[in-house]
Chain A
Amino acid sequence: MSPDPSSADREEAGDLLKGVAGVERRTREILVYGRAGDYLILWGALWALGYGFGEHLWPYTHAFWLTLDAIGIAGTSLITYRTASCSAPERRFVFVRPLIGVVVLIAFGSLWIWLAHFGDREQSAFWPTLCGALLFVFGLWAGRALSIAAAIVVALTLAGYFWAGAWFDLWLAVTCGGALVLGGLWLRR
């Protein structure tokens, strides 16, 4: 290229910079998808267990869900720790923010379930739609595959709420739990 660039040079430079921007965006997406895939598989499996067996374990349903939440929080922390890209001293504290995030989410949901006196059916529908809404918004920045997965989860939950009748919890276990696990596997591929 000459010191005084021609329009052809400018066109080539523009194309190369456009290519750079596209590759940077795709790389960030792939990195987010790889980590998000692990989280989706973990929580999908836990939802499948919770909705599949929770109501059969009465009067221990609540304790069962708390146990699953504790496993989910521990698993989320572990995944974050293992996939963190920072140096060793920082890595020790890298799980703190996701940990706080999950605890705040559970506390927020529990508070509104209590304040609004949700019935069992509404409670079952509330968590997947809440998590789906948050994942959808996150996906707007991080990658549209996450928003698509979230929209599917919310749509399946609402479909089950209105039409699955007495099979609603089983419906959530199979469709929402299954959708998250399959979505997670697809993102990781």
Chain B
Amino acid sequence: MVDEVIHQSMRLKIMSSLNVLSRGDWLDFSRLKAVLQTTDGNLGAHLDTLSKAGYITIEKRLDGSRPQTRVKATAAGRRAFADHVAYLRDILDSAPEQS
């Protein structure tokens, strides 16, 4: 079964980025936005979807006096990402259809 939450291109990219970090490490919203080269609104909407699925944790806090939003992948998110990448590789590796 395809995981429709993570199959969407931008959400898959978000999970790819968070999966690079060590377990428990956070990534700033601004850095994630720079990696993905997208807008605040688009990124925020996809982060909400991933958060509702339990794949990421979003934390809003004060870094000194500056408000900061940061995100990290949950264990379930890392598993879902690994499973989906394996699924995509299976498709790619499968033999072409006979015509």
Q: Does B40 contact A (CB under 8 A)?
A: no
Q: Which of A7, A24, A87 contacts B16 (CB 8 A)?
A: A24
Q: Is the CB of B94 within 8 A of A23?
A: no
Please, how many angstroms separate the alpha-carbon atoms of A20 and B13 in the complex? 6
Q: Quick one: given A24-B16, A27-B16, A30-B35, are A16 and B97 in contact (CB under 8 Å)?
A: no
A25 to chain B, nearest CB (A): 9
Q: Which of B2, B13, B22, B25 contacts A23 (CB 8 A)?
A: B13
Closest A residue to B14 by beta carbon equals: A23
Please, how many angstroms separate the alpha-carbon atoms of A85 and B27 in the complex? 11
Q: How large is the interface on B (under 10, 10 to 19, 20 to 34, 35 or more residues)?
A: 20 to 34
Q: Does A92 contact B (CB under 8 A)?
A: no
Question: Hey, which chain A residues are within 8 Å of B92, CB to CB?
Answer: 10, 13-14, 17
Q: Is the CB of A30 within 8 A of B31?
A: yes
Q: Which of A5, A16, A27, A34 contacts B12 (CB 8 A)?
A: A16
Per-residue contact bits, chain A 1-32, to B (CB 8 Å; 1 contact, 0 not): 10011110110011011011001101110110
* Chain A residues within 8 Å of chain B by Cβ, number: 24
Please, how many angstroms separate the alpha-carbon atoms of A48 and B41 in the complex? 42
Question: Hey, which chain B residues are within 8 Å of A10, CB to CB?
Answer: 91-92, 94, 96
Q: Is the CB of B17 within 8 A of A23?
A: yes
Please, how many angstroms separate the alpha-carbon atoms of A61 and B35 in the complex? 44
Please, how many angstroms separate the alpha-carbon atoms of A24 and B21 in the complex? 10
Q: Is the CB of A6 within 8 A of B20?
A: no
* Beyond A6-B97, A19-B12, 17 extra complex contacts between A and B, CB < 8 Å: A1-B2, A10-B94, A13-B89, A16-B7, A16-B9, A16-B88, A17-B85, A20-B16, A23-B35, A24-B19, A26-B35, A27-B17, A27-B35, A28-B20, A30-B35, A86-B22, A87-B24
Chain A residues in the interface with B (C-beta under 8 A) = 1, 4-7, 9-10, 13-14, 16-17, 19-20, 23-24, 26-28, 30-31, 34, 85-87
Q: Could you give 6 example pairs across A and B, Cβ below 8 Å?
A: A10-B92, A10-B94, A23-B17, A24-B20, A26-B35, A30-B34
Top 3 nearest A-B pairs by Cβ distance? A13-B91, A23-B16, A13-B88
